[in-house]
Amino acid sequence: MIASLKRAILHILDANSGVSVYSDEELDITDASINSFITKHMEKIFEDAGLRSAEFADNSGFKYHLSEYLRDENYFQTMSQFIAQRVYEGVSQSDKPDSSDLLVCDCIINERPTLAILKCDNKIGYTHQVMQEDGKVKNQIINHYAILPTTSQKISECAFINEDDFTIKYIGKRRKIDGETTDLIADVLLECIYDISPRESVNAVKKIAKKVTEENGGDAIETLSKMKEYITENVDEGGADYIETDKVAEKIFDSKPGMREEFMEKIEKASVPQRVEVNSYVTKKLASNVKIVTDIGVELTFPAEYYQNSEYIQFINNEDGTISIQINNIGEVINK
């Protein structure tokens, strides 16, 4: 993805001390270090498989303020303070208040105008302090209580709102607020209606397929291998695409109509969409090798397409109920 900043502002939210500092001035995005810090965090999180799709509720206060900003660009600072205040109210009333710096950014992501909100949780770190004692220099190590996440760390709560059509992508964390389990970003800030994320959907498909197979006396390894084959055959690497749950059912339960029907019923109850969006991360995860862990401590990893190919690997059911695994046509063994 490509991100470029148009403007950005930073607000300090310290729910532990009860002190918040709302900025009256925007950040200098022409400063290379500031620009790089923000855009690298955006690039790290924007295509994350944990992002949920959502849409605003009709009475969303956030949607109102965003609409006002799009009508009047001078409203940016007012809108950003509303965002900061909503986040602070939610965090300060939660069972585990925390401190964070909140970035509100108007930007272009993949050529689309986007409002980005990044909640940067503060970390406790260490730094040096130079002291003078009796005319001598003493270097000391001290705690620093407001360290921003480095660009190698992933932000755990954020939102991206497309300014053209108001579609939402976000990641939130559930916490107790006023005694109720609440998603700070979706329920308190955005006031939106959301779907489960691609990662949650894919994990649900895998778990349901495995559960249906095991409950009906089937081979769970074979089921997951067939699912990986379907992913490999049908999803293009390097971009967003979809897997269709009914076609997954046909692939893994092709000769078992009863199990296929049970699978689809459980998929519907779990609120998994019929078409599950996947990105390159999920694709690589699903199309990766099958890993088997045995009860004798031996672990085996192999490509999914080898599972039913006796030229490479065979699973042999012994008369005593145990299973033997035979690996064939090995040209070289490398000790790692």
Most confident region among 182-186, 271-275, 304-308 by mean pLDDT: 182-186
- HEC readout, the chain: CCEEEEEEEEEEEECCCCEEECCCCCCCCCCHHHHHHHHHHHHHHCCCCCCEEEEECCCCHHHHHHHHHHHCHHHHHHHHHHHHHHHHHHHHCECCCCEEEEEEEEEEECCEEEEEEEEEECEEEEEEEEEEECCEEEEEEEEEEEECCCCCCCCCEEEEEECCCCCEEEECCEEEECCEEEEHHHHHHHCEEECCCHHHHHHHHHHHHHHHHHHCCCCHHHHHHHHHHHHHHHCCCCCCEEEEHHHHHHHHCCCCHHHHHHHHHHHHHCCCCCEEEECHHHHHHHCCCEEEECCCCCEEEECHHHCCCCCCEEEEECCCCCEEEEECCCCCCCCC
The answer to which of 90-99, 106-115, 227-236, 321-330 has the lowest mean pLDDT is: 227-236
23-41: pLDDT as tens digits:
999 999 999 999 999 999 9
Q: What is the pLDDT of residue 144?
A: 67
Q: What is the pLDDT of residue 238?
A: 46
145-198: pLDDT as tens digits:
667 777 778 888 999 999 999 999 999 988 888 888 889 999 999 999 988 787
